[in-house]
Structure formats: structure tokens, C-alpha cells
Structure 1
Amino acid sequence: MTGNGYAHPESLVDTEWLARHLDDGTVRVVEVDEDTGAYERGHIPGAVGWNWTTELHSRVGRDYADREGVQHLLRAAGVEDDSTVVLYGGNNNWFAAYAFWLLRLRGFGPVKLLDGGRKKWELEGRELTREVMDYQHSGYRLAGPEHPELRALRDEVLAKAEVFAKPGADAVLVDVRSPAEFRGELIAPAHLPQEQAQVPGHIPGAVNVPWSQAANDDGSFRSAAELRELYGGRAVGAEREVIAYCRIGERSAHTWFALSELLGYPHVKNYDGSWTEYGSLVRAPVTLGA
């Protein structure tokens, strides 16, 4: 396990722990990558792959898989009542954190992130395989309640937009995109097409703390002390309500994890509609520049 002063260290496992537990029948490893073909080119032994574009989202409309859909994924991975799911992915776990947030949203509790994800596993020269696991489907049933308090929706963000912009407000909006996206010079990360939202910029009053600043060079999370300094330096403290957003909610899920799971902030939400939704709203307030 990993520590580093985190509020909930049980939400992470390190590469050494996972290497020792690959043959543990109660552990199910799941890879979720931005590059949906990465799993087929090589993955951690025993892992199954979830395609975020087709399996984590509903087939019609812009929303996530519902409880039944998430339950189906867990059953197909062979998850039982005594199972622990360990998620990992590339690019500092951004889409793995997205899946972690979704599982928690839908009421699944025994889930952890592999600290450093695929990047750290590969840097350490650990084994990858192309063998695709086909676990026997289980009869697992989601028993816990959903947690809508982890999610911010459009109407809430619009209603609080004026609050965010006021000095000393008890709520803060964290834009975790790159500075160029925040300033309105880009609408999406530089390596992606730039057509997702209608206008550039950011929500008025938002502070810009790029999600990647929460990670070390090997993809693992920075220590709790470093994270507190990072977010505290932008007045993002545990005493405030925090709503994080990015472009589609995956980078902000990584920040949500850092704030809620690692620092223990009690009131953190992920605005998964993010800029692709907000930047296309008619007459919504928008700020350009730093």
C-alpha cells in the first residue's frame, strides 16, 4: 500500500503491492485508457479493459452508464462480493480516475487506483501481456446507494457562477485544464481536435490548477503535504465547497480524487459536463484571458 500522509491511503495501491497480488482471486485489475487500443497492445497480467467511450457511457445521450450498466461491467470482470477492483491507465491515470469516480457515483465501494498507473508500471520494467482474460460472469449486485453528491450538474454551476466570482466565497471552482485552455487560446488539449465547444474561455471566478501538477514525473501522486501546498496556494481549501471541471470530466476526476481521497476534503464535486457543455450554452457568462 501507499501512504504519503494521505487522508484515505486505502484508495491507492502501489506497483509492488499489485505485483504481489496478481494471483489473488479477490483482486480484479481493470485498465481504462484514453487510447482505447492500448490494452490490446499489452496490459498488466490478469487485467480486463474497459472502453471509456463505449462502456462507461450510455449509448444514447450524454450521460454515464447507469447502475445496471456498471453492474454488468463488474459482473463481466468476475467481481464478487469479496472482490477489490484496482483501476489503472496511461497518462497519469486520468481516465482510470474517471472510472474510479463513476464507480463511486454509482455506489461501488471496494475500488482503488494503482498509484502511477501504466506509466510507473512500465518505467519499472514490470510484465505486460496480450493475453485477454475472460472471467466467468458473476452474479454480483450493487447494494450500496448512489452518491449524486459527488457530481455537479449544469444548473448548479450556473446558479453558483456569481458566488464563485466573489472574494471570500465559501465555494470555489477549479478549472484543471491547461493554462492555454483556461485563457481561451485552445478549446481542447493540444493533441486533440479543437471543435468540442462553441466558445473558448473559462467560467468566471474559476482558479486554474492544471490537473497534471498533482502528479510526479513517474505518474504517481504527489505527497499530501505537496498537494496541500499546491491547492492551498490557490485558496482551494478543505473549508470550502469545491467543484472541479475540465473539458469532459476526466481530468477533473483526477483532481476530484486528489482533493477528496488523498486530502480528505469533505465537499468536492466533479462537473463532468465541463467545458464541452458550458462552452456551448447560450448566454452563459464566460471569461477570456488569465
Structure 2
Amino acid sequence: MGGILPSMTAPRAFAIAALLPACGPRVRGVDPAPLGEVVVAGIEGALPLDARAGGEFAEGHIPGAAHVDWTELTGSDDAGYWGALPPEEAAALLADRGVSTDRPVVVYGSGLHGSGDDGNVYWVLRWLGHPDVRVLDGGWLSWVAGGGEVSDTPQPPPAYFELDLQDAVYADTEDVAQWPGVLLDVRSAEEYAAGHVPGAVWLEWSEALDDDETLKDEASLRRLFEGVGIGADSRVVTYCRRGLRAGHTFMVLDALGIEVRNYVGSWTRWIEEGGAVEP
């Protein structure tokens, strides 16, 4: 059976694939391999982790992929508020699905259709302390368009996941209420206009994607965020309605090397816990 091990070391650096050859970090890369172990995002031997819905995974996936629907990593706390699973439960679930902290993980999702499902699972893995988690740029669509093999193989056997909780990527309502940096609302324009956290700036999460649903290049992404006051030295909290879309924007900012946290529960939790609303 799978399981989790307590961390015996200090927090470790997180490796993310190169954004451009010599321009800092990025979640990127489609490099299908017809023979041997699958090569994903340039990492031989990486575990592909499918974040799409279960039915989509069953219809076909990257060979050797594990699967976890992002909704499986969420739940309600004792007060009935929606948020992330307790870390021990989330780590045990991932271990049971074959995710190990001894093996690089490349998350892939379903793009706009999945509202940033890959980014949310990426955030969970970062929070739980996986030392090498990346994202397949363009997700499943890019894999298929690039000629990647489609498989119906079963999930890998259970593994061990060494829990090393990273509180620096997690924000709760108390953090948001007194946050000294930038609060970034990544919901739709209509949602933002209907009410938002006081002082929050707005940029819809999908603006980070090109028409083919891959990420925009680094220069374009930096200009995009600079347009709402987010620079290299900013401290950012992302939020959406519940945390899914915010997880994707967390992923992008994290890849750019910007200090960022995801507000788990997001707008739903903010309202449930009595947060003020700015029209």
C-alpha cells in the first residue's frame, strides 16, 4: 500500500523547467517518446499526472500516467467551509495513486475546458512539498497535437509520499485580510464587478494563455502582470471563486519566480467567513 513519510529535512528548492533557454523558470515542454519510458517536459522517467476528469482519463491518457481529479483534493472542513483536503489526507491519496516524492511529476490537464485543473494540482503538490513538480505546457491537447502516444494503461502501483508542508504557498482568510502585497482576483470580469475583496486588482486567469492554450512567452507574461502592478519583487495572493483558477495563476507566477500564495476556498470562503465586499 502507499503511504506518507514525515519530512526529516529542511524545505527544499523546487525545480521547474526553463522558461526560455537562459531566462528563468517555466512550466513548459512537449517531447513525446515512442519507445521506452515516456519523456514529458524533457524529463526522462517523470511520472505524468493526469488532472482531468476521470471519464477523460479512462478514454485515453499519456502512457504510464497516474490520475487524480483536482476535486478529489478538496473537501469541507469541520465548519463546513470548502477548501483543500487536510495535507495528510491529500498526501495519502496521491501516494495511493502512485505519486512519489522520489520521482519528478509532470501534471497535465484539459486547458480552458478544465479551468486550470493542471495548475491547481500543481499548487497542491507544491504545498505538500513535492521537490520536483512541473506542468506540461498546453496539457493534453498539446500532447495529442505533438504526436504523443495515447494509452489506456492502468494507474501505477501505490508509492510513498514524503510530506514536507510548505506554508509559504498557502493563504487563508486571515492572511488575505491583512495581506501587505497584491491581492489578485482571477475570476471573470463579471464576477469581479459583482463584488471582490477590498483592494484586489483583477486579471482573468486565462489571459496567460495563447490561442492554442499554451502559455504566452515570458516577456508577454511579465508585461501582463506588470499591467496590474505585479513585478519581480511583488508578494501576491491569488483567488477566484473557490481556488481552481487561482491555482493556475499561482503556477504561472511561481514559474516566473514571483512570491505567490493561493487563497484556498477563495471568494466562497471569504464570504462565508464574513469578509468585506468592495463593489
TM-score greater than 0.5 by the shorter chain: yes
Preserved CA contact (<8 Å) 2:50 2:107: yes
How many angstroms does 1:205 deviate by? 1.5
**Structure 2 unaligned spans of 5+:** 1-16
Residues 1:71 and 1:225: Cα distance change in structure 2 (over 3 Å):
same
- Partner Cα distance (2:24, 2:246) in 1: 19
> Given the two structures, how large is their TM-score scaled by the length of structure 1?
0.77
- Which residue is equivalent to 2:278? 287
How many angstroms does 1:7 deviate by? 2.4
> Given the two structures, how large is their TM-score scaled by the length of structure 2?
0.80
Select which of 265, 269, 272 maps to 1:273.
Answer: 265
- Corresponding residue SS for 1:16: coil
- Partner Cα distance (2:23, 2:262) in 1: 20
* Structure that is richer in strand per residue: 2
Asked if residue 171 in structure 1 is aligned to residue 218 in structure 2, the reply is: no
- Partner Cα distance (2:190, 2:34) in 1: 38
Cα deviation code 1:69-121 (max 9, x no counterpart):
33333433434564111110102571111111111111111211001111222
Count of paired positions:
253
How many angstroms does 1:179 deviate by? 0.7
- Corresponding residue SS for 1:99: helix
Residues 1:65 and 1:90: Cα distance change in structure 2 (over 3 Å):
same
Select which of 29, 37, 43 maps to 1:14.
Answer: 29
Residues 1:226 and 1:122: Cα distance change in structure 2 (over 3 Å):
same
Preserved CA contact (<8 Å) 1:152 1:270: yes
How many angstroms does 1:22 deviate by? 4.2
- Which residue is equivalent to 2:119? 97
Quick one: percent identity of the two aligned structures? 32
Residues 1:237 and 1:13: Cα distance change in structure 2 (over 3 Å):
closer
Preserved CA contact (<8 Å) 1:174 1:208: yes
How many angstroms does 1:243 deviate by? 1.0
- Corresponding residue SS for 1:37: helix
- Which residue is equivalent to 1:167? none
Asked if residue 76 in structure 1 is aligned to residue 96 in structure 2, the reply is: yes
How many angstroms does 1:214 deviate by? 0.6
The RMSD of aligned alpha carbons is: 2.5
- Partner Cα distance (1:74, 1:234) in 2: 35
- Which residue is equivalent to 1:110? 132
- Which residue is equivalent to 1:248? 242
Alignment of 1:1-290 (within 5 A): 3-4=19-20, 6-9=23-26, 12-16=27-31, 22-23=37-38, 26-33=45-52, 35-53=53-71, 55-58=72-75, 61=78, 62-80=82-100, 82-92=102-112, 94-129=116-151, 131-138=152-159, 140-142=160-162, 145-160=164-179, 171-184=181-194, 201-261=195-255, 263-265=256-258, 267-282=259-274, 284-288=275-279
- Partner Cα distance (1:257, 1:20) in 2: 30
Query: More deviation in 23-32 or 93-102?
Result: 23-32
